[in-house]
Structure 1
Amino acid sequence: MQNISVTVIRKLLQGVLVSGSEHWFVKHAIYYNRHDLTQKNTLMFINKSESINWKEIDHKGPSLVISDKPLSELKNAFENTTVIQVKSTLQAYWKFIEYYRGLFDIPVVALTGTCGKTTTKEMIKHIASKDWNVQASVSSKNEPRQSLPYLTGIDKTTKAAVFELGLGNTGNIKHQCMIYKPTIGIITNIGVHHLDGCKNLEGYIKAKSEILEGLSEDGTLIINGDDENTKKVPLHKFKGKIITIGVQQHADYKASNIEFTNNGMKFILQVSNEKYTIFVPGYGEHQVYNALAAIAAIKEMGVSIQTAISRLKTFKPMARHLEFSTGLGESTIIDDTWTNNPTSVEAALKVLDTIGKDKKIILILGDIKRLGLFEEKYHREIGSMVAQRDVQMLITIGKRAEDIAAQAKKDGTTAEVHIFKDVTGVLEILKPKLDKDTIVLIKGPMSSRSMIEFANQLKEK
């Protein structure tokens, strides 16, 4: 965080100094009870309804408390704590955020989408970090409450920032964009997810569309031109620059001649009248889309396409994102336990369509969560996808996933089908099937620790 004097903060927030000294600098900022207080020189916003552990705050001092609590509750004798009273903690919070974000004139990328957000973000970071100090959200930790710490992670040495936007409910993306004020936005794709918080697919698309108003007026929006649900986003409301990426349709960044090669994908990129040969580590057409979005963003950030292509070759695919390993019985284990939704399941099955030719395919599929009233519908659709393929064995784990098995049977799958409540007993029926000609795809929700551990067990030779 850029160091800011307490005097500047008091004047900015038009607050009243209740106690303590204002002749020191703040180096961290949190919202009390939403973030852990771990460091000295921390500014914290505290609502009037919240209880305060003054001893803890003072122990971690010097500390700065900003609150709209009554004066009688804010007076204290602690020597390491400065207290400033404001009329509204919430208004003070947003005023501080606006001030802090305004200190930096750098490219800020914000990403949303059902799949590919984290990988695309990491690709952008990988490319840009060779020259710049890049502030980025950590892994897929994209909850709105993380936004303040991520924003204040920017300081005077930061040359660019890239943040993943989390969506659990309507309004989440709008909230995060108000904090980050992104100059570049990316919608990787829009599938089906978080229908419990957005009610239905239309609500989910609307929630994703919040990024339009969150971008600066002269900002850039990068979208997947092939994605049908993205076409339902009201792009006419956006007055900035729109860049399309694609494989099927005409696009500003278009990929063709896509090939599966050793450990990754090779394709031809066409931008205007220029053509480039690209290799990106990681399997699947979806990885091509991720690379296209990353290259388009990096170009907008001021890095050449050739430089991006060169650096992308050394990108290391993320763990548990279609991660290939040689496992039990010399079988090929594909660990895709990072996330689980209909879009990512379909992407994984498409990878198997290519690399699984002349192999015995075993699918281990877990529950898909956060589908609200549409749980049965989308689990059954996956069952139909499975039934269309030559699969030796289908194993479902979890109550919701039973509908995958039921629909696959109904549609006439030739696979041997097994239904389990949890991973107990799965290895016993699986182990005799594992050999060098077998590929096992295991896919489940990241919240399922048991499936993650089971995937690790399969990867142990």
Structure 2
Amino acid sequence: MNYDPQQLIAPNTMLFIRKSDDINWEELNNIKPLLIVCDEKEKLQNQALSQITAIYVRNLLQAFFVFCTYYRNLFDLPVVAITGTCGKTTTKEMLKHILSNEMNVQTSVSSKNEPRQTLTYLLGIDDDTKAAVFELGLGNTGNISYQCQIYQPTIGVITNIGVHHLDGCKNLDGYIKAKSEILNGIRAGGTLIINSDDENTKKLPLSTYQNKVFTFGIKNKADIYATAVQFAEKGMKFQVHINNKKFQAYIPGYGEHQVYNVLAVLAVIHELGLSVQKAILKLRTFEQMERHLQFSKGVGGSTIIDDTWTNNPTSLEAALKVLDSVGNGKKRYLVLGDIKRLGKFEKKYHMELGSLVATYPIHTLITVGTKAENIAKQAIADGTSAKVYMYKDIKGVYELLEQQLDRESLLLIKGPMSSRAMIQFAKQLKSSE
């Protein structure tokens, strides 16, 4: 672990200390046994380390990677690494739901998938662990390569590639290239699982990829695919086809994207040599994640669809499809916040979303934030039939909706990712049943 004065350090710890770390040596000297790895010889020589074993290294980062490689190689187990613009967390949680029933599985927590959290998750593997499932976060080029160096996955999954984090990857091509880093990160003899229907995934440099590729899809040819996809009571019904076998499936939670998540999960299950049929049965009891197109009763007897977990063009398009599928005979309301991390392409993609919104029969469109204004303005320019309101922030939106929402109203909320104001706004609407 890296030194953190706020974190409790237990005996039998290997501690990597940087030159910039302000160390409480007296406290460390009382922890035994303890191994310190440091790249500043003077820092070690000037301290009384009677109870501490210390190793001086010339390059701390290199030593860190050597240790990580050593630790990872102590365990011969399947490690699944999941990336994609949307569906990472849901796919990971579905896998956890299935695997935990049969084995001890180590996973990343919620959607906490930043590279700096990678080591903590890796070190959670021990002799009792039979499998591991981790998300790969992507904010900048190189993030996935870094995480793969630590995890050394045997199975890599790309759920889809949309538009996101263009500020850290410069443009869409850079973003696709950053996602493709997983190809070189999968261990020799491993498997890459990809979406055969996703257009940007088709741009991956698979011609130079040496390992196995396993595909999932609905529209195009795939190794595992779904047919007869339809909305059912509180979820989706469909048929799963694999190895000339057909299974009836159901997953809680609305949307075609949810079916894609299931197919990705079942592809992993197949590659692990486990029963696809048992996994399908287990998924019937999967609990839909909070703020992932979560349906609730709200103010005036309305139905609130809380999709505030994340916000990007891909997830908004999926949410609009769900709204359209379940909204027959309803007044459809949209509250849309800014989409962040689009770099210099912010205006372009917000305007494109405005054009997309204009193709749907929306009763009322409300945008929140200066960036989201471009959604509203473009929807108006494209002839939307919706009543359109533009707000700088969330203040006043509740008061507007409180007067309009009734039992015939269906409201979809999508806001800036991790926006406390938007999350609280959704709670306020749901608590006013």
Matched, 1:445 2:409: no
Distance 1:297 1:100 in 2: 24
Tell whether the 8 Å contact from 2:72 to 2:150 is kept in structure 1 after alignment.
yes
- Identity rate, percent: 60
Matched, 1:351 2:316: no
Q: Normalising to structure 1: TM-score of the pair? A: 0.91
**Cα shift readout 1:165-192 (whole Å, capped 9, x = no counterpart):** 0101100000000000000000000000
SS of equivalent residue, structure 1 residue 290 = helix
Two-structure CA RMSD over aligned residues (Å): 1.5
| Partner of residue 158 from structure 1, selected from 120, 129, 132 | 129
Distance change (3 Å), C-alpha of 1:345 and 1:74: farther
Counterpart residue type for residue 101 of structure 2: K
Residue 69 of structure 1 is matched in structure 2 by 40
Distance 1:62 1:328 in 2: 59
Distance 1:92 1:171 in 2: 19
Unaligned runs of 5+ in 2: none
Tell whether the 8 Å contact from 1:446 to 1:452 is kept in structure 2 after alignment.
no
Residue 10 of structure 2 is matched in structure 1 by 40
**Structure 1, 348-357 or 61-70: larger mean CA deviation:** 61-70
How many angstroms does 1:114 deviate by?
Answer: 0.2
Tell whether the 8 Å contact from 1:195 to 1:201 is kept in structure 2 after alignment.
yes
**Structure 1, 75-84 or 185-194: larger mean CA deviation:** 75-84
Distance change (3 Å), C-alpha of 1:353 and 1:93: same
How many angstroms does 1:61 deviate by?
Answer: 5.8
SS of equivalent residue, structure 1 residue 31 = coil
| Partner of residue 54 from structure 1, selected from 9, 12, 25 | 25
Matched, 1:377 2:363: no
SS of equivalent residue, structure 1 residue 379 = helix
Distance 1:321 1:74 in 2: 54
Residue 198 of structure 1 is matched in structure 2 by 169
Distance 1:224 1:60 in 2: 50
Residue 18 of structure 1 is matched in structure 2 by none
**Structure 1, 368-377 or 299-308: larger mean CA deviation:** 299-308
Tell whether the 8 Å contact from 1:71 to 1:85 is kept in structure 2 after alignment.
no
**Cα shift readout 1:359-379 (whole Å, capped 9, x = no counterpart):** 100000000000000000011
Matched, 1:147 2:141: no
**Cα shift readout 1:430-450 (whole Å, capped 9, x = no counterpart):** 112111111000001232100
**Cα shift readout 1:142-198 (whole Å, capped 9, x = no counterpart):** 000001000000000000000000101100000000000000000000000000000
What is the aligned residue count? 431
Distance 2:262 2:43 in 1: 57
Residue 363 of structure 2 is matched in structure 1 by 392
Residue 73 of structure 2 is matched in structure 1 by 102
Counterpart residue type for residue 260 of structure 1: F
SS of equivalent residue, structure 1 residue 178 = helix
Matched, 1:422 2:393: yes
| Partner of residue 381 from structure 2, selected from 410, 415, 433 | 410
How many angstroms does 1:36 deviate by?
Answer: 5.3
Counterpart residue type for residue 75 of structure 2: F
Distance 1:56 1:137 in 2: 31
Distance 1:58 1:282 in 2: 53
1:163-312 equivalences under 5 Å are 163-312=134-283
Unaligned runs of 5+ in 1: 1-29
**Cα shift readout 1:292-315 (whole Å, capped 9, x = no counterpart):** 000110121221101111111111
Distance change (3 Å), C-alpha of 1:36 and 1:241: farther
Counterpart residue type for residue 447 of structure 1: S
Distance change (3 Å), C-alpha of 1:271 and 1:245: same
Tell whether the 8 Å contact from 2:224 to 2:267 is kept in structure 1 after alignment.
yes
Q: Normalising to structure 2: TM-score of the pair? A: 0.97
**Cα shift readout 1:364-406 (whole Å, capped 9, x = no counterpart):** 0000000000000011111111111111111111111111111
